[in-house]
Amino acid sequence: MSKPLTGIRVLDLSKVLAGPLCAQYLGDLGADIIKVETVGQGDETRGWPPFPAPGLGTVFLSANRNKRSIAVDMKSEKGREIVHALAKSADVAIESFGTGVAERLGIDAPTLRTLNERLIHCSISGFGRAGPLKNSPGYDVILQAFCGVMSMTGDQDGGYIRSPISPIDQMTGVHAFSGILALLYAREKTGKGGEIQVSLFETALGLLGYNLQTFWERGVQPPKCGSSHESLCPYQAFEAADGPIMIGVANDNLWRKFCAVTGLSAIVDDIRFRTNADRVAHRKETLGHVEAALQQNSVAHWNEVLTGVGVPCAPINSIAQLLDHPHTKASGIIVDYEHQTAGRLKGVGHPVLINGAERRAGRPPPVLGQHTDDVLGEIGLSSEVIGELRRERVIG
């Protein structure tokens, strides 16, 4: 079955997570992704342990499926000529270098789009390409700190906590992905490409939408809420008789259902607890009643009973429990594939189902420079020229 982006060629000049993840999603939808890496080292995440095989760090594996790798020294004139030749026939180019670096390497939007007006150029940065912090390096954890995310994460009396899933990096990749799809659609009407800029800074601000709205209303720093929500109650983790369970009572109808099955009917219409606003105002008392009720039975019991009446809840699973759950297995989101150097591996498939098609891993993440000769041959370089470029260390 032909995939939606079959026939689209992408130059992935990015590294680490946001750009590579964006390119992987395009590849999952059928685009031909040419990952351009530095000679010798390649994408720095190749060196981030653990390693199922040398040069294949697990972060790299997670974001570089369905790509072909070429190793090119873009600091050399001949290396830039190779990238420019590839750009002439590409539909999309993605870069994530520090501000000013793309211009020095000749892979910035004005340079590449002069070569190919149909090209869609996507630039990914930490703090954007303008403003006082445009030259500041940006990693997910830095933006979590700078944009106030860390100031709200964790328990009220606890230390500062980094979200371990790199949400800002990953969401920036999704924003880049959506922008590229939008311009591919627009190009069908205009015949011309365009330029996209996304940054971890603006992604973080976007993710903070309702938190900022609350700050503008109250004018005070939002509190650290741990597993809870400052606007909802009860809406957090609780200890049942044998372990933790997450409860999400997000409206008053759910509160009535919750009380009916947990033995709290006597307080359901108490003026302190009747509405969500009442329960938030009397949070400590509300939580006291809920905690006492939930401690009377097991996680499995409450999960079955509450789910049965439509109250959102979930056991707080470990990663192993998540992967072993029948629902995870039924979803088909986990894919298996064979890697030429790492053997049998698993990965997370593209989290979008199109026309109900079964998810498949496709091309495994490449070894550094694995496809250099093939790709250069496609733009007309002979084996003799390729050999000479390799001897000069222009390619790897």
Query: Mean pLDDT of all residues in the chain?
Result: 96
Active-site residue flag, 169: yes
**Residue 157: pLDDT over 90:** no
* Mean pLDDT, residues 314-324 taken together: 96
The pLDDT score that the predictor gives to residue 223 is 87
**Residue 1: pLDDT over 80:** no
The type of residue at 79 is: G
The type of residue at 19 is: G
Ranked by mean pLDDT, which of 134-138, 228-232, 253-257 comes out on top? 253-257
88: Cβ contacts below 8 Å, ≥ 6 apart: 115, 116
* Mean pLDDT, residues 269-277 taken together: 96
Q: What is the number of other CB atoms lying within 10 angstroms of the CB of residue 60?
A: 24
pLDDT band per the 50, 70, 90 thresholds, residue 373: very high
Write out the two tokens for 39.
């000679």
What stretches of the chain show up as alpha helix (H) in DSSP? 18-28, 58-63, 77-88, 101-105, 109-115, 140-146, 149-152, 167-190, 200-207, 209-218, 252-262, 276-281, 283-294, 299-308, 319-324, 326-331, 372-378, 383-391
Q: Which of 28, 169, 269, 278 is catalytic?
A: 169
DSSP 3-state of 334? strand
The b/e string for 296-307 (b: 16+ C-beta within 10 A; e otherwise) is: eeebeebbeebe
Contact assessment for residue 374 and residue 68, using Cβ atoms and an 8 Å cutoff: yes
DSSP 3-state of 337? strand
Determine the distance from the C-alpha atom of residue 194 to the mean position of all C-alpha atoms in its chain, rounded to a whole number.
24
* Mean pLDDT, residues 286-300 taken together: 97
Which neighbouring-strand residues pair with 313? 247
* Mean pLDDT, residues 16-41 taken together: 97
* Mean pLDDT, residues 222-236 taken together: 93
**Residue 2: pLDDT over 90:** no
The type of residue at 153 is: T
Contact assessment for residue 173 and residue 19, using Cβ atoms and an 8 Å cutoff: yes
